[in-house]
Structure 1
């Protein structure tokens, strides 16, 4: 009876018997000495299962080995074939019940379909709003080609990262001169009647440069001061909903407006832009951020159930993202009503081309607002953890420190919204800058260093990856001349 009351998960014996084996995991099956109950010997899935006679025999065997390990000879510890696999471990109770062990080693693994859509959801963001504008800047034909080429290039660089651990008024004429102070009004595409007085009154109180940034300060500043951002992580599904709604919105608007296309390869007209334009680097800057997921792809793929399918799942995810960008960008550009409008009137945020009184557009903006409300505190939390941890050694040194940092973060956003509310330029500069380091330079250098250490670095590989680095530098420099 005394032996039956003896705990099987003895910290003294387990820690002493296996300290020489270098076991550091708190759920190490050999260190814990749990009792094993085969699934077929359990009556049901409830936590109070009765164990069979066969399980009781195994219990006695483990007790026997436990007595042997109490001697001075550490070689008499239970052999590996006696201790079950980690996923088959149960803790035995003398009352005749068994409890399945669960812990950090039992993280739920996602099937491929979940992994693919997790990447798709993470990669899709506000960049999708600027894809039609980027295609307009590059030209319709050249824009499509650049989107496909950039997607393939970003996929290859992401593959290197993944395997690295193992190794208005009508705008009649185009106006791209930013030096002169020309005022270009925004034309609102209308598919139904709107009360102009109501729209003007709404825009007076809801201006994206004058009032909205101040409203967001009141809303976002308290959220940034939360000690933990785990609450907001539960609402990341809003990103998927907002993107799906955008696709539905684009489809409905395209069906109502119809196609408006003419092909002029090099010469622009009053209503159409050339198919090939020298402003195409603006699109490459936008796409560098639109296809960017390189800083978190390893973490996302760790939870993939079938690790051997990582490359395939990554490729499928990039294919879905590319098709989504193509669908939205091509449809908005092709159905933009020209005439009477010029294609050059497509805004950096294509939602700005629709009236504020449009109900469907208002719903789309609402979805995006709630998406940003949940994502923004998460990003602020990451900045806080990195900066406060490096400077003060604590993630939350005090409320005053955190409030000061958050005021700086929100202040920069408000100043940008007030004096430079150009989402297209912000995205392309951000994408080109971050992409230079995290997409082109570091992955290519790490890949070449790894090949060199293996003695497998040839001149074709060195030239190709050196060309990728040069391409990233050219992409960044070109943004300053557009």
Structure 2
């Protein structure tokens, strides 16, 4: 065997010119950095807010809701790339620095407030979801007293914070969360499978509401606020961009196209299958629609709780960066890194212990924080910094995106105040209130309806 020819073939084959094993290794590492960035973006998008997407379809109407989801995904893709382009044009390396360079100190303070509030509220809601979701799962364990302190909301939040949220949030490099984000993405795919199964096995037993197939509904703009809350990841975009090896706009564009495409596919499937199962009965938290004794969904609840735990550190990274930039000139020593992280997590944990339901707070966060961070600010920065003519496609799209953001922010705020979501936290739906509690785990375990379906057709809320 001619080893010299083999070496020459390897050196000249895949890369078109002579290269070394070291260069190939660097190429693989570069791709691994991009993969980590993709999973971090996907994890940031399909976090806890994904369970509210079926409700946004209910608000907007099924056909219009699907179209709006794709529109928000497209705008997210466009604005994430636009944000980094703005950073390149201004020579800045953070969202805060970009806005300060573009709109001065007042803009910097406003952006810092928004960029802190959104992930901080997300961290608080994550804690509540972790405690509530895992608590319901633990209550299904045979012999466990439902009133046991060790399966209560506060105890679960405390344990999850100490054992998982705090240690993961103490990382310095967000790229190290790539594997964690991959696990979260796999668990989300499993949850989606469970929701699809229940669309076939539970959906036929739930009576369709009269407005189930309406094309559009008056709360469509409010639905965009919910979708924006789900898709926002702009507050951590510069952190993820900086984790790339030799970051460029071209590499970032590839990462964003792949990440948003994956997220949009998962989001649309989750939203449509969840809504088609319950139609007009769909709640803001889809898991509240399923019965407590549905063990397949309890596996989904468990996976979702783990997913939220794994999504938590990404939001903490952002809040810590904002504090570091505003109060420490962007640099934190190891000591202050640990202190700031601990203080932020302690504040979020304390708030989640006090507040039981964040429905209207999350809605307002969607229209007042997410809409500016996604639609308005990236577009405004690019429009001011770019020297392209106004007829340039990027400038036209930026103008359209900015105007859309203003509409979503103003109209969404008014609709949220006039029609706030009621908090039906922990209430069983009427179709779950039956003495035949074991019926779920028997007759719904297959795809074929059983002769007991007449029971549900008579007991379902009309």
Of 220, 228, 231, the match for 1:288: 228
Q: Which has the higher helix share?
A: 2
Query: Using the alignment, how far apart are the partners of 1:119 and 1:258 within structure 2?
Result: 32
Unaligned runs of 5+ in 2: 90-138, 420-462
Deviation at 1:318, TM superposition (A): 3.1
Distance 2:251 2:149 in 1: 51
1:323 aligns with 2:323: no
Contact kept? 1:115, 1:313, Cα under 8 Å? yes
* TM-superposed deviation, 1:136: 2.5
- How many equivalent pairs are there? 356
Shift of 1:285: 1.6
Shift in Å, 1:331: 1.4
Aligned residue among 91, 107, 125 for 2:47: 125
Range with greater deviation from structure 2 (428-437 or 208-217): 208-217
Counterpart of 2:455 in structure 1 is none
The question of whether the paired residues in 1 share the 8 Å contact of 2:52 and 2:285 is answered with yes
- 1:62 is aligned to none
Counterpart of 1:362 in structure 2 is 298
Q: Does 1:433 align with 2:368?
A: yes
Aligned to 1:371: 307
Match of 2:352 in 1: 416
Q: Give the structure 2 partner of residue 235 of structure 1.
A: 180
Q: CA deviation at 1:328?
A: 1.4
1:199–1:356 contact (8 Å) kept in structure 2: no
Equivalent residue number for residue 380 of structure 2: 445
Matches within 5 A, 1:193-232: 201-202=145-146, 204-205=148-149, 209-220=153-164, 223=167, 226=170, 228=172
The gaps in structure 1 that reach 5 residues or longer are 1-38, 46-84, 91-98, 168-194, 266-271
Q: Equivalent residues in 2 for 1:73-222 (5 A)?
A: 100=22, 107-109=29-31, 119-165=41-87, 167=89, 201-202=145-146, 204-205=148-149, 209-220=153-164
Higher Rg: 1
TM-score, length-scaled by structure 2: 0.60
- SS of equivalent residue, structure 1 residue 219: helix
Q: Would the aligned equivalents of 1:254 and 1:335 in 2 still touch at CA under 8 Å?
A: yes
Instruction: Tell me the SS of whatever aligns to 1:201.
Output: coil
Whole-Å separation in 2 of the counterparts to 1:106 and 1:150? 33
Measured in 2, the distance between the counterparts of 1:212 and 1:380 equals 19
CA contact (8 A) 1:131 1:329 kept: yes
Higher relative contact order (CA 8 A, sep 6+): 2
Q: How does 1:8-87 map to 2 (within 5 A)?
A: none
Q: 1:432 offset after TM fit, Å?
A: 2.6
Q: Secondary structure at the match of 1:108?
A: helix
Residue 372 of structure 2 aligns to a residue whose secondary structure is helix
Match of 1:251 among 196, 199, 208: 196
CA distance, structure 2, for counterparts of residue 462 and residue 384 of structure 1: 29
